[in-house]
C-alpha cells in the first residue's frame, strides 16, 4: 500500500481508474471536447501567458500551441473509435474453436512532464493521447515557463474531470519526489541529462516510459537547392520561438559553391520577417531566462558573425545571428544551441557533410534541401534520426498521421495521432475458447495416434 501524503491527488486518480470511469469511450470523448473548449475559450489568456513567458506572438501561439493542439484533438476524436477497436486475429486449426483479439488497454495513472519551450503544447499533446487511450493523468509543467504553468494549474481543472486529471506545479526537488511515486507510464520531454534521471526513477518501479529529448538537427543545403526558398524556410524554422525548438535546424551544412548566396538570402529573409531591428518586432520571441541569454552570448566568442550578434540580457533578447566559416570543432558544435544562432559550415562533397552529422549524437531530425533523387536517397540511407524532412523543416512533425519522436540520444517512443494512442496503451491479448468440445488428444497419456494427430493439426506433418 502506498501513502500519498505529499501528493494526495494520486490516490484519488488511482481510485478513479480502478472504477473504470476513464475506460469508457464516452468519457474520453467528453474530456477531449472539454480540452478543446479550454483552448477555444481561453485562447486569449493562453496567448498572454505564452507572451509573458517567451514573448511569443499570438499568431505563433496559435500556430504552434493552441491551433495545433486543436487539430490533434479533432484528429483523435475522428479516429478514436477505430483506434479502440479490438484487433481480431485468426486462430490456427489446432486451437479452434476460439476467438482471439488484442485489445488496447490504458496503463492507468500516467505522468506527463513537460519542457518550457512549448510549455502548453508539450503538456497537452501527450494529454490528448493519454485521454484517448483511457488513462488518468498527472501533468507536471515546466517551472521555467511560470505563467503557462500557473494557467494550466488553475484553469485547466475547470474544464476537465479532476478525479482523473491533475496538474501539479513543481520545481526540481518536488519533481524528484513526484518521481518516487509509482506511475503506470511516464512521458518526459526535455533534456537528455534530466531524461536519464527520469529513466532511473522509472526503473525503480519498472515503469515504462517515453523520452522526448533534443539534439543538434542538421540542415544540408546541397548545390542544386533553390536558395531563395531554402533561406526563407530555414530562417522561419530557426527563428520560430527564437530558436528554442527541439526540431529547429541547429546548424547548416552548405555546399561551398552556395555559401555566400545562402547567407545573403537568409539575411534578406530575416529583414523581411522581422525588420531592420528584430528587437522591435512584435513577432520575435525572447529567450526563456537570463541564464540562457548568457549561455548563448558566450557561444559567440571568437566566431565570425555574418549578421546579428547582439545580446540584451535585460530584455532577454538575442538577435537572429548567422555565423559563417564555422569549424566543425567549434564550441558551437558541441551541444544543442537552442537559440537564434545559426552556424554555417561548408562542404565540398556530400560525404563530408554526412561524416559531420554522423560524428555527433543521433538528432531528432535531419533536413535536406535538394531535388536530386540520388542525393535524397544518400542522405536517407546514410544518416539516422527520428524524422527526415526534405525541402522543408519542422512540418513532418505537424502531421498527426506521422509518428513523432527521437532515436538514440534524441530519445525513444512515438506520439502524435495514433502513435500517441498506442504509446499510452498496451496490447492485452485475449483468447476466448469454448468449453465444448474438449477432445482427449491434448491430454496424456500421449499415445502414438495422439502425437500423429497433433503433428498433423499443427501443420508439422
Tell me which residues are annotated as active site. 212, 246
107 near ligand NAD (CB under 6 A): no
* Least Cβ distance, residue 331 to ligand NAD (angstroms): 17
Instruction: Give the max Cα distance, the chain.
Output: 91
Q: 66-71 contacts: CB < 8 A, separation 24 or more?
A: 66/39, 66/120, 68/121, 68/398, 69/35, 69/39, 69/120, 69/121, 69/124, 69/125, 69/128, 70/36, 70/39, 70/40, 71/400
Nearer to ligand NAD (CB atom), residue 119 or residue 134 = 119
Among 222, 259, 336, 422, binds ligand NAD (CB under 6 A): 336
* Least Cβ distance, residue 74 to ligand NAD (angstroms): 21
Cα of 267 vs its chain's centroid, Å: 30
Tell me which stretch binds ligand NAD (CB under 6 A): 8-16, 192-200, 367-375, 424-432.
Answer: 192-200
> From start to end of 190-332, where are the E strands?
209-212, 217-221, 249-255, 304-307, 311-312, 317-318, 321-324
364 near ligand NAD (CB under 6 A): yes
CA distance 302 to 276: 25
Among 100, 194, 300, 407, binds ligand NAD (CB under 6 A): 194
Among 62, 68, 116, 317, binds ligand NAD (CB under 6 A): 116
Rounded to 5°, angle at Cα 376 from 374 and 378? 70
Cα of 145 vs its chain's centroid, Å: 18
Tell me which stretch binds ligand NAD (CB under 6 A): 21-29, 171-179, 262-270, 278-286.
Answer: 171-179
Which residues does 151 contact at the CB level (< 8 Å), separation at least 6? 42, 45, 46, 49
Nearer to ligand NAD (CB atom), residue 36 or residue 212 = 212
Among 113, 128, 254, 296, binds ligand NAD (CB under 6 A): 113
* Least Cβ distance, residue 50 to ligand NAD (angstroms): 14
Interface of this chain with ligand NAD, residues 262 to 301, rule: CB under 6 A: none
Q: Which residue number places its CB atom closest to ligand NAD?
A: 214
175 near ligand NAD (CB under 6 A): yes
Owner of C-alpha cell 507510464: 185
CA distance 92 to 154: 54
191 near ligand NAD (CB under 6 A): yes
CA distance 14 to 137: 10
190 near ligand NAD (CB under 6 A): yes
- Applying CB under 6 A, which residues contact ligand NAD? 113-117, 122, 140, 142-144, 172, 175-176, 179, 189-191, 194, 197-198, 212-214, 246, 336, 338, 364, 406, 411
Amino acid at each position: 500500500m502506498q501513502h500519498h501524503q505529499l501528493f494526495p491527488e494520486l490516490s484519488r486518480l488511482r481510485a478513479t481508474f480502478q472504477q473504470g470511469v476513464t475506460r469508457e469511450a464516452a468519457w474520453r470523448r467528453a474530456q477531449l471536447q472539454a480540452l478543446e473548449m479550454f483552448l477555444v475559450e481561453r485562447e486569449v489568456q493562453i496567448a498572454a501567458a505564452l507572451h509573458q513567458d517567451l514573448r511569443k506572438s499570438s499568431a505563433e501561439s496559435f500556430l504552434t500551441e493552441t491551433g495545433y493542439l486543436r487539430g490533434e484533438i479533432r484528429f483523435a476524436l475522428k479516429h478514436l473509435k477505430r483506434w479502440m477497436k479490438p484487433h481480431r486475429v485468426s486462430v490456427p486449426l489446432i486451437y479452434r474453436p476460439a476467438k482471439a483479439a488484442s485489445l488496447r488497454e490504458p496503463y492507468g495513472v500516467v505522468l506527463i512532464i513537460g519542457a518550457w519551450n512549448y510549455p502548453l503544447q508539450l503538456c497537452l499533446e501527450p494529454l490528448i493521447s493519454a485521454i484517448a487511450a483511457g488513462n488518468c493523468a498527472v501533468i507536471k509543467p515546466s517551472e521555467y515557463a511560470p505563467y503557462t504553468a500557473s494557467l494550466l494549474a488553475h484553469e485547466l481543472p475547470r474544464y476537465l474531470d479532476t478525479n482523473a486529471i491533475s496538474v501539479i506545479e513543481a520545481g526540481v526537488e518536488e519533481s524528484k519526489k513526484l518521481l518516487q511515486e509509482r506511475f503506470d507510464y511516464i512521458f518526459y520531454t526535455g533534456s537528455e541529462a534530466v531524461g536519464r534521471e527520469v529513466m532511473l526513477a522509472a526503473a525503480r518501479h519498472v515503469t515504462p516510459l517515453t523520452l522526448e529529448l533534443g539534439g543538434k538537427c542538421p540542415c544540408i543545403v546541397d548545390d542544386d537547392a533553390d536558395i531563395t526558398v531554402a533561406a526563407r524556410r530555414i530562417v522561419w524554422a530557426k527563428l520560430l520561438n527564437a530558436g528554442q525548438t527541439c526540431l529547429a535546424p541547429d546548424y547548416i551544412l552548405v555546399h561551398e559553391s552556395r555559401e555566400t548566396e545562402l547567407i545573403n538570402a537568409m539575411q534578406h529573409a530575416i529583414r523581411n520577417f522581422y525588420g531592420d531591428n528584430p528587437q522591435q518586432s512584435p513577432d520575435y520571441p525572447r529567450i526563456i531566462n537570463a541564464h540562457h541569454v548568457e549561455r548563448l552570448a558566450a557561444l559567440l566568442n571568437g566566431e565570425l558573425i555574418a549578421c546579428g550578434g547582439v545580446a540584451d540580457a535585460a530584455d532577454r533578447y538575442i538577435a537572429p545571428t548567422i555565423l559563417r566559416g564555422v569549424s566543425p570543432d567549434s564550441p558551437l558544435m558541441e551541444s544543442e544551441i537552442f537559440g537564434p544562432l545559426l552556424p554555417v559550415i561548408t562542404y565540398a562533397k556530400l560525404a563530408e557533410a554526412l561524416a559531420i552529422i554522423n560524428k555527433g549524437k543521433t538528432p531528432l531530425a535531419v533536413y535536406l534541401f535538394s531535388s536530386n533523387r540520388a542525393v535524397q536517397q544518400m542522405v536517407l540511407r546514410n544518416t539516422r534520426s527520428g524524422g527526415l524532412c526534405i525541402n522543408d523543416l519542422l512540418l513532418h512533425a505537424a502531421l498527426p498521421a506521422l509518428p513523432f519522436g527521437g532515436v538514440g540520444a534524441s530519445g525513444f517512443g512515438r506520439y502524435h495521432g495514433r502513435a500517441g494512442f498506442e504509446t499510452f496503451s498496451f496490447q492485452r491479448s485475449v483468447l476466448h475458447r469454448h468449453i465444448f468440445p474438449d477432445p482427449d488428444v491434448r491430454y496424456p497419456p500421449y499415445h502414438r495416434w495422439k502425437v500423429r494427430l497433433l503433428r498433423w493439426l499443427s501443420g508439422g506433418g
